[in-house]
Amino acid sequence: MGAAIACAKGFTISGINVVNVALVTKVFSFIFLAPFIGMFMAFLTTISIVHLFKKSNPYKAQKKFKKFQLLSSAALSLGHGGNDAQKVMGIIGAAYIYHEKTLGNVLTFNDFVLKYNWVPFCSFLAIGLGTLSGGWKIIKTMGTKITKITPLEGVCADTAGAITLYITQWLGIPVSTTHTITGSIIGVGATKRLSAVRWGVTINLLWAWIITIPISALMAAGFYYVIKFFV
């Protein structure tokens, strides 16, 4: 939005009119709805799994859920790439389609995927490398600071987050994996008791999500003006 408005007529009424308000409203709504959907799904998933394994030996169940967590985290990772990587590909795809149009070529998004098939690979690879190299602080916050997570609760949170991401992906709604899994972790913690959730940390995360939107827009507009100065 920031780059598009800057490219149009700046932060004026005419510039803001280039934004598809209906679509942006839909995306904005799910920025705030995704955590609640994840929370609800996690609450239901936890209650269901606890009920299914209520007669199991706690020690053996713990060992099983450690193995199950590999599957549930893989499902969440697939949902993460299937949702978050598409946002990057959408921007790159739009740029290539515009470039081809200036050359007189008609290129649909499906044509783009076939012609520039290295873009999906690079997008997925970048997300994986980013998590591997710089995600440890976020992992620590998600795994220890919101609520205490056991293997059982980890499976429930991952599964609920993955289901939420698959549903929103199927509906064509871009959501944040971080928002979704945060809601899922809160939902898991709430099944024990509400006080098991560290609400102070959650409120800080909420403020970070809100502030990110205008800061990203301003930074994109700033980069546009800087690059435009040299091009």
Three-state secondary-structure class, residue 31: helix
Given this model, what pLDDT does residue 7 score?
Answer: 84
Own/partner contacts of 14-21, CB < 8 Å, gap of 24 or more, are none
Give the per-residue pLDDT at 77.
Answer: 86
The pLDDT assigned to 15 comes to 63
223 close to 3: Cβ distance less than 8 angstroms = yes
Considering only residues 62 and 109, tell me which one the structure prediction assigns the higher pLDDT: 62
The CB density around residue 92, as the number of other CB atoms within 10 Å, is: 16
pLDDT digits (tens, 9 = 90+) for 35-47: 888 889 888 888 8
Query: Percent of the chain, pLDDT > 70?
Result: 97
pLDDT, residue 105, reads: 79
DSSP 60-104: HHHHHHHHHHHHHHHHHHHHHHHHHHHHHHHHHHHHHHHHHHHTT
What does the pLDDT average to over 146-172?
Answer: 87
Q: In the prediction, which pLDDT does 10 show? A: 63
pLDDT for the residue numbered 14: 62
Q: Which residue has the tokens 């859920």?
A: 65
pTM: 0.78
- Rounded to an integer, the average pLDDT of 115-124 is 82
When pLDDT is averaged across residues 88-110 and rounded to a whole number, the result is 80
> Which range in 43-52, 131-140, 196-205 is most confidently predicted, on average pLDDT?
43-52
Q: What is the pLDDT of residue 13?
A: 60
Could you tell me which residue, 143 or 64, shows the higher pLDDT?
Answer: 64
Distance CA 70, CA 90 (A): 30
Mean pLDDT of the chain: 83
Residue 215 is predicted with a pLDDT of 93
71 pLDDT band, cuts 50/70/90, is: very high
Per-residue pLDDT, averaged over 114-118, amounts to 80
- The one-letter amino acid at 135: G
Q: Where are the domains of the chain?
A: 2-226
